[in-house]
Structure 1
Amino acid sequence: MNPRIGSTLPTLAIMLGASVWGLVWYPMRMLAALGLTGTAASAATSAAACLFVLLVRRGSIRSISWHWLLVALAIAAGVTNIGFVWGAIHGQVMRVLLLFYLTPAWTALFAHFILHERLTRSGVALAGLSLAGAATMLWSPELGLPLPANLAEWAGLMGGMGFAMSNVLIVKVSRVLPAMKSEMRTATIFGGAALVASVAMLFEPMTAPPAASQLGMVALLVAGLGIVLASNNMLVQIGLAKVPANRASIIMLFELVVTALSAWLFAGEVPGAREWAGGACIVAACVLSGWVHREKEPRDPREPREQCDEPRDEPHPKKKSTRAMV
């Protein structure tokens, strides 16, 4: 293969994954319009994705071994899923996603307590920058304190905290269970998302189920989303195996671009000046976070980087190893 093409394909894989995540809110709203609530849609699509991964990569199932960290990872993934899906269905998509992307602030805090990583000045500064962006976006003289204005925005904020916790726990799991295949971590995340969403359904007000004439469309959307999202996660794993973590974190911000365009085209949502300013701070914090925690080059410039078939587990939790966004 041409070396230039070989270096471009992993980048395209990550960009495609970010594009899928930036568009997934729309079919979730379609399911909501058909009568499937956000929690029910999250549970159904996550279960379909988990089943698809287990069927396609069934040879890797024996690499799973019991550990309480897997339970914690599953719960964190479930909070991530519920927060994003419910927020995207009931709120302004771009504001919910920007609140979701306060990841640098939460990751620095969680990594300090779970991975025992020292809080550096740069980490604290980046966390402050992202929080300042959120405050700018949420500030309103009429409302007072810059807090989320509705339940959808609170859901996006909680989803981002769950996402940061998931990233930290993925690193912890990779250290404690090094023999566990990466696709089984993906299955754990999707399975956890399905279980947490199923429990959340019990506390959601009862609504009329989808009409009998629409059940076929609902089933098709659920199965299609499950397969697309599971395949997307495995595709991104291939890209992450070949692209340095700092560069990958920047490429993944393409999701914000896709979300902004899709929200404008499909929902008529146009961010205001405060949303753009606050979003710029949050994006800058994410970009600088990847640069500050960039991968170290080999000491000997003649020494090639390690190449492997499985994605490498980076020593810092800023790398987005897997994401279940259903």
Structure 2
Amino acid sequence: MSPARLRLPPPVWVLMFGSTCWGLTWIWLKHIETLGVGPVLLSTIAYGAQFLLCLPWVWPQFRRWRHRPDERPIALHWLLLLALLSGVSGIGFTVAMVYGDVIRSILLFFLLPAWGVLMGHVFLREALSLQRIVTLTLALIGAFTLLAPDLTLGFKPADLAALGAGLALAAANVLFRYLQNEPMVVKLSVMQLGGAVFGLLIWLLLPESLDRLTLNGLAQSALYGVTLLLAAMIATQYAVERLPAGRSSVLMTLELVVASGTALWIGHEHPSLWVWLGGGLIVAAALIEANTHSIGAAPGDGHA
């Protein structure tokens, strides 16, 4: 192993750091909303600022592909799909965190194991074992338990945003596995551009009120994008490529723990019994799916 390789940070600690960052995002997001910036505009600015910050590292790659199309490894339609999925996921997550109950929204977003099982089976031909059927069943029962008290009143917009964001992220993860040999910096920039462009389109179609908009809010939206959000994205991608999928799945549940714990402590949220029951089923599904990956993954298989 080369000295340069030895200097790389341990992926376990990096993933724990990234999951903690994701779990803390809601605090800054809700604060920025009080400064007059709605979640769609907030996301657009955050992802746009990220893209501009990373552009000097990405542009040379795109320039080389422009002059040498034969070396272009990713088909344009896959790039567009990845951008769309990332945009839906990023905007939906922000809307859910700003307008929804943090614990409820993060649990609905964390239906990733269920969506991952379904999409992996349909699109990647992954085996649908008994453990994975149990995972899917538990996760869906957990979601129903969370939403059951409100079914007669209809879904809350934040619930739909959280569900849609989790579904889009699961699809993006499947696409990531399909494109696992492509440059990470390119895929990251596509995610950022997708978040910015999709957010701008949504904001133009469904404009948010600008009555309370402040310069401080705009500045903090950009700062959030290039610090906490960017750190969470890079740390997660760095780690999941270097860890067995099962181990990374377990460690990523730290996001749920951090978000729920801080919402109880700082946000003074008081989840109902239905939330605790549904959340427990969803966490159990995540851990079972992680164990399924651990059993079936070859040593060194690090893609989530």
- Higher helix share goes to which structure? 2
1:104 maps to: 113
Of 171, 180, 205, 1:203 maps to: 205
2:48 maps to: 47
Q: How far off its partner does 1:6 sit?
A: 8.3
- Return closer, same or farther for 1:21/1:10 CA change in 2, 3 Å cut-off: same
2:135 maps to: 126
Identity of aligned residues (%): 28
Aligned counterparts, 1:255-270, within 5 A: 255-270=255-270
Does the Cα contact within 8 Å between 1:50 and 1:230 map onto a contact in 2? no
> How far apart are the structure 1 equivalents of 2:233 and 2:60?
18
> How far apart are the structure 1 equivalents of 2:42 and 2:275?
28
1:240 maps to: 240
Residue 227 (structure 1) aligned with residue 226 (structure 2): yes
> How far apart are the structure 1 equivalents of 2:49 and 2:24?
18
Q: How far off its partner does 1:27 sit?
A: 1.5
2:190 maps to: 188
1:36 match: secondary structure = coil
Structure 2 unpaired stretches of 5+:
66-71
- CA distances 1:112-150 after superposition (whole Å, capped 9, x unpaired): 22223343332222111101111222222xx556x9641
- Return closer, same or farther for 1:296/1:138 CA change in 2, 3 Å cut-off: closer
Residue 80 (structure 1) aligned with residue 75 (structure 2): no
- CA distances 1:216-266 after superposition (whole Å, capped 9, x unpaired): x22431232122222332233333343222111101100111101221233
Amino acid at match of 1:94: I
1:254 maps to: 254
Q: How far off its partner does 1:205 sit?
A: 4.4
1:288 maps to: 288
Residue 164 (structure 1) aligned with residue 170 (structure 2): yes
Residue 151 (structure 1) aligned with residue 160 (structure 2): no
2:36 match: secondary structure = coil
Of 94, 98, 118, 1:89 maps to: 98
Residue 26 (structure 1) aligned with residue 27 (structure 2): yes
1:278 maps to: 278
Amino acid at match of 1:226: G
1:202 match: secondary structure = helix
1:253 match: secondary structure = helix
- Return closer, same or farther for 1:152/1:239 CA change in 2, 3 Å cut-off: same
> How far apart are the structure 2 equivalents of 1:210 and 1:66?
42
> How far apart are the structure 2 equivalents of 1:148 and 1:98?
18
TM-score by length of structure 2 reads 0.86
> How far apart are the structure 1 equivalents of 2:38 and 2:297?
48
Q: How far off its partner does 1:293 sit?
A: 1.6
Q: How far off its partner does 1:58 sit?
A: 5.0
Does the Cα contact within 8 Å between 2:88 and 2:168 map onto a contact in 1? yes
Amino acid at match of 1:275: V
- Return closer, same or farther for 1:295/1:240 CA change in 2, 3 Å cut-off: farther
1:24 match: secondary structure = helix
Over aligned residues, Cα RMSD in angstroms?
Answer: 2.6
Q: Which range moves more in the overlay, 38-47 or 108-117?
A: 108-117
Count of residues in correspondence between the two structures: 291
- CA distances 1:258-286 after superposition (whole Å, capped 9, x unpaired): 10122123321122222111111111111
1:11 maps to: 12
- Return closer, same or farther for 1:56/1:254 CA change in 2, 3 Å cut-off: same
- Return closer, same or farther for 1:144/1:221 CA change in 2, 3 Å cut-off: closer
2:80 maps to: 71
TM-score by length of structure 1 reads 0.80
